[in-house]
Amino acid sequence: MSKFTTDDFKEKLDVTMDFPALYMFKFIVTEDKRPQVEALFSNTELKFKPSSKGKYVSVTAQVMMPNSERIIDIYKEAHKIEGLIAL
């Protein structure tokens, strides 16, 4: 089984989307990491949904993206947040 790469992801985005395009990001983080996720998206309305016990929060952002490279850049920055799960 081959490893999925950013090149594969970029190609898939470029084939399936016409840019600029609205793209949905979904992440799950612990509540204390929420500000780091918020910092990824300036001037964007985010939706938050806490877990039943309040330890985790899902964050959803719908953002107009100019190209696939910008989407990948956001995922690379998000990957730096400890414990983040991208959906």
What pLDDT is recorded for position 42? 87
This prediction has a pTM of 0.89
Residue 46 has pLDDT above 80, yes or no: yes
Classify residue 37 by burial, with Cβ atoms within 10 Å: 0-12, 13-18, 19+. Answer: buried
For the cut 90, the answer to whether the pLDDT of residue 2 exceeds it is: no
**Which pair of tokens denotes residue 8?**
């594969």
- In tens, the pLDDT along 64-76 reads 999 999 999 999 9
Supply the CATH classification number for the domain 6-86.
3.30.70.120
What is the chain's mean pLDDT, rounded? 94
The answer, yes or no, to whether residue 5 has pLDDT greater than 80, is yes
Amino acid at site 70: R
Residue 87: which of 50, 67, 65, 59 has the closest Cα?
59
Which residue intervals of 1-87 are DSSP H helices? 6-16, 34-38, 68-79
